[in-house]
């Protein structure tokens, strides 16, 4: 089943697809193993930030590592967050990255034009959607500002949530999806990347909450599966409500990155760090999100 179909099926069944970001290449193996062991469908994802500022190295390196450990039917490879304007407010030559990813066999992609003006975001997204659809793969886009990757500090989370700064507007979202033809939409409804900003990447992440009313409005306005970036640390009751209202994909980064980094610091052993990632991924799939056996549910729904 194609990636676009799996995410749509997940939304219909009322479950969620997790996308695990891998800023360090040795994380790929334990994530894949945990996903298969829990009989779940998930994405292995890499974002431009992760090979620029961490150690996933390149699109090619992640694809090679994925192909070493992949388990067809359980995982697929997703190009996450290629920004048009990056977290340092620099323009990115983004189209060649998407062309390269498609050539390498990435099975879904995401363009992030959220730092552009609305009409410019539409234009950039349209270009990538067209390229992806010609290749037969889905394209995710972002509208609103999921903050946290910025290089400097931001206001407190409470201030961000209270003011609704960067939250996705339902009317704009309707126009955006209708005009661009994107398959999935990443929305801002209280979720944040990392630990508020790049300046605090090693700190414990804020326990975020979500504006569920806004999620419901966005789902009705767009008619496509919604995506939450910055999924680590969101309170469980908000996650459950968001899935019920139309969120079908959630990105996980901080939870497994910090597990890897902490174990590596403490032991100096890559194998120990991989084990920490396996255990944390298993906990997320089985205990936090309650997804164990989810693949069987989607497979049965598809057959019927």
Q: Is the pLDDT of residue 41 over 90?
A: yes
Q: Is the pLDDT of residue 205 over 80?
A: no
Residue 5's pLDDT is 87
Q: Give tens-digit pLDDT for 56-90.
A: 999 999 999 999 999 999 999 999 999 999 988 99
In a domain, 186, yes or no: yes
Residue 20's pLDDT is 97
Residue 145's pLDDT is 76
In a domain, 112, yes or no: yes
- Looking at residues 224-238, what average pLDDT do you find? 87
In a domain, 47, yes or no: yes
Tell me how many domains the chain contains: 1
Residues labelled catalytic: 80
- Of 94, 32, 24, give the one whose Cα is nearest residue 56: 24
Cβ pair 258, 40 in contact under 8 A: no
Q: Give tens-digit pLDDT for 117-135.
A: 999 999 999 999 999 999 9
In a domain, 135, yes or no: yes
In a domain, 126, yes or no: yes
Domain holding 272, by residue range, is 3-293
Q: Give tens-digit pLDDT for 159-169.
A: 666 555 679 99
Average pLDDT over the chain reads 90
Q: Read off the pTM.
A: 0.90
In a domain, 218, yes or no: yes
Cα angle value 178/166/6 (rounded, 5°): 45
């Amino acid at each position: 089943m194609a990636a676009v179909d799996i995410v749509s099926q997940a939304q219909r069944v009322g479950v969620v697809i997790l996308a695990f970001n891998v800023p360090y290449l040795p994380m790929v193996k334990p994530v894949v193993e945990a996903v298969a062991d829990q009989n779940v469908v998930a994405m292995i994802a890499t974002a431009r930030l992760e090979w620029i500022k961490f150690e996933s190295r390149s699109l090619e390196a992640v694809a090679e590592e994925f192909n070493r450990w992949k388990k067809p039917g359980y995982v697929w490879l997703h190009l996450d967050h290629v920004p048009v304007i990056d977290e340092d407010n620099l323009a990115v030559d983004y189209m060649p990255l998407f062309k390269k990813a498609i050539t390498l066999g990435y099975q879904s992609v995401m363009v992030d034009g959220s730092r552009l003006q609305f009409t410019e975001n539409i234009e950039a997204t349209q270009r990538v959607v067209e390229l992806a659809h010609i290749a037969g793969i889905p394209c995710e886009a972002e509208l609103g500002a999921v903050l946290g990757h910025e290089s400097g500090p931001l206001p407190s989370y409470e201030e961000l949530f209270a003011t609704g700064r960067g939250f996705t507007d339902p009317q704009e979202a309707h126009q955006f999806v209708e005009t661009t033809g994107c398959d999935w939409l990443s929305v801002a409804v209280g979720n944040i990347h990392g630990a508020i900003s790049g300046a605090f990447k090693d700190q414990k992440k804020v326990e975020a909450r979500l504006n569920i009313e806004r999620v419901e409005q966005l789902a009705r306005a767009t008619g496509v599966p919604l995506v939450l970036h910055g999924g680590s640390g969101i309170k469980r009751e908000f996650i459950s409500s968001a899935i019920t209202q139309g969120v079908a994909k959630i990105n996980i980064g901080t939870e497994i990155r910090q597990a890897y980094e902490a174990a590596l610091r403490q032991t100096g052993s890559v194998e120990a760090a991989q084990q920490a990632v396996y255990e944390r991924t298993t906990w997320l799939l089985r205990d936090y999100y309650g997804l164990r056996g989810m693949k069987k549910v989607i497979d049965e729904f598809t057959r019927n």
